[in-house]
Amino acid sequence: MKSTTKHQETAPAVSAGAAGTAAEKGWGEPAGGEPRRGRFTRENVAKVLFIVPAALYLALFFGYPVVKNITMSLQAYTTKTFFTGEAPWVGFDNYATMFGSQLFGPALLNTGLFTIGSIAGQFVIGLALASFFKRRFPLNNFLRSMLLLPWLLPLIVASATWRSILDQDSGILNRFIGAFGLEPVPWLTSPSVALIAVILVNIWVGIPFNVTILYGGLQDIPEELYEAGALDGATGWAAFRYITWPNLRPVVSVVLVLGMVYTIKVLDIILGLTNGGPANATQTLSIRSYQESFVNFEFGVGAAFSNILIVISLLFAIIYLRANRRAVDE
């Protein structure tokens, strides 16, 4: 913020940078300190024109849905609403229904476990693989691109495939385990195992993202640091601890926060694998929101559930922004 205002002051007649400054100025102080006659100059018109598409886009695709979602959560919004256009205000009834539901507690807990479990697994395996691919060896590039496959597969296809892999009777995973004389695991049929199975599949889905971003981060660490470190005796684990990790921190925070926001709203994988079952063992807030809205057609209650998700995501976004600002200030 500080740096941008300075930029405005020192460059009063910017032309090339019009887009950047216009965006900030237009929101902040329309009249500014400038003389009045400057209001409708061509330059100012251009500035405004540049803002309009972005502002319209934000208002249409971010502002409207968020506001609509909040108002919807305060209305009795059901199938009838679509025909009559009437959605009576019910205050916080939908929130009361949500918090009063026996599934709210378990869904919240499952969302937490699912998110933390998935992120931890994705990140650790992703970082390990990224470090591994930093070395030069034959087929490195080929193998790294193959790693992206889970990312390219439509999630609905991936979850259908995993469902057959995890099938208790004829799934290939249990056949494999059976070859070692172990009992078949009821991956998707036991309420105590299903959440773990769903997390494992989500880890598989998230690894490519983590590897790609972390690998990019690793590439940015100057080789000289390692050479210098090696001279001081920092190799192997010490090199990772004192050179790689501190230099990777900004990338790590991006990966973790984005991962958090992506994971907390995961729907398709769980729907495809268990549909929230068995016996509600894999219900999460996003599954509740989906089922209330599109199975029970209680759009108001569904909106209430998704608002909770938005608040949680927002919380992490704020933590991320604050952490980043601190890093810049330092």
Partner 1 sequence: MSRTTMTKKKLTKKKLTTLLAMAAIAPLAFSACSAGGAGGSETSGEGADTLTILDYYNNEPDKTLVQAALDKCATDLGVTIERESVPGKDLIQKVLQRASSKTLPDVLMLDNPDVQEIAATGGLSPMSDYDVDTSGFAPGILEAATYEGEVYGLAPAVNTLGLFYNTELLAAAGIEPPTTWDELKAAAAALTVGDQYGMAFSAIATYEGAWQFLPFMWTNGGDETDLGSPEVTEALQLIVDLVESGSASSSVINWSQADVKDQFVAGKAAMMINGPWQIPALMETPDVTWDSVQIPVNKAGQTPVAPLGGEVWTVPVTGDDEKQATAAKFVECISDDENQLALSEARYLVPTKEALAEEYVEKVPTMKSFTEQVANARSRTGQLGEEWPEAATVIYTAMQLALTGQVPVEDAFEQAMAG
Would you tell me which residues interact with partner 1 (CB under 8 A)? 15-16, 18-19, 42-43, 45-46, 49-50, 52-53, 56, 79-85, 100-103, 163, 167-170, 186, 188-191, 274-281, 294-297
Of 279 and 321, nearer to partner 1 (C-beta) is: 279
Shortest Cβ 17–partner 1 spacing (Å) = 10
When the beta carbons of 204 and 297 are compared against partner 1, the nearer one is 297
Residue pair 96/103 in contact (Cβ under 8 Å)? The answer is: no
Give the separation between CA 177 and CA 161, rounded to whole angstroms.
18
d(C-alpha 207, C-alpha 134), whole Å: 16
Q: Please, are residues 230 and 301 in contact by the beta-carbon 8 Å criterion? A: no
Pick the closer one to partner 1 by CB: 169 or 183. 169
Q: Which residue's CB is nearer to partner 1, number 10 or number 15?
A: 15
Question: Residues 137, 142, 144, 150: what is their CA dihedral angle, to the nearest 10 degrees?
Answer: -150
Q: Least CB distance from residue 235 to partner 1, whole Å?
A: 50
Whole-number Å distance between alpha carbons of 282 and 203: 15
Distance (Å, whole) CA 304 – CA 98: 7
Q: Which is nearer to partner 1, 22 or 199 (CB)?
A: 22
Shortest distance (Å) from residue 4 CB to partner 1: 19
CA angle 79, 84, 88 (to 5 degrees): 75
At closest approach, how far in Å is the CB of 92 from partner 1?
A: 18
| Minimum CB distance to partner 1, residue 112 (Å) | 21
How many of the other CB atoms lie within 10 Å of CB of 123? 19
